[in-house]
Amino acid sequence: MTDDRDELIRQLTIRLRETVDENDRLRAELARMTEGASAYATLSDIHRNRELPAAVRAKAAIGCLPHEMPKLMPERAPLELSAEPIEPLAQLVERQRARADAILSLPLAARSAMFDPGSDGNSGDDSDHS
């Protein structure tokens, strides 16, 4: 019975040494991989490592996101809007009255031609019409 226990202890000791050696090897590999690496490179390695817990990978992916997918920006420059000068109401009324007076001073045939849908608006020259 003690032989079985001694054999079990020996096997467990061997397995423990193998585990510690593997752990040391992995730590050395990690140190080698991340030595001199940028923060982005380190986070990128972490979020692509499927052996790590999902929460750790998700946090690393969040850190990588701004570098992998840039923010969406407008494609064109913003519009430079400027208002046109506003004609004062008094000037607008004066200009429209002068236009109306000019139309009213025309002969009646010329005025009716201006509003005839079949006419081109030229004062009664029907030489082009058939």
- Helix or strand (DSSP H, E) at 102: helix 89-104
Residue 44 lies in a domain: yes
pLDDT at 117: 66
- Give the global pTM: 0.33
pLDDT in tens, 8-36: 999 999 999 999 999 999 898 878 777 77
pLDDT in tens, 40-56: 888 888 888 888 889 99
The single-letter code of the amino acid at 14 is I
d(CA 49, CA 55): 12
Residue 82 lies in a domain: no
Tokens of 117: 């849908």
Residue 61: which domain range?
38-70
- Domain identity same for 46 and 26: no
DSSP code at position 52? S
Domain count, the chain: 3
Residue 16 lies in a domain: yes
- Domain identity same for 116 and 91: yes
Tokens of 84: 């046109």
Give percent of the chain above pLDDT 70.
Answer: 88
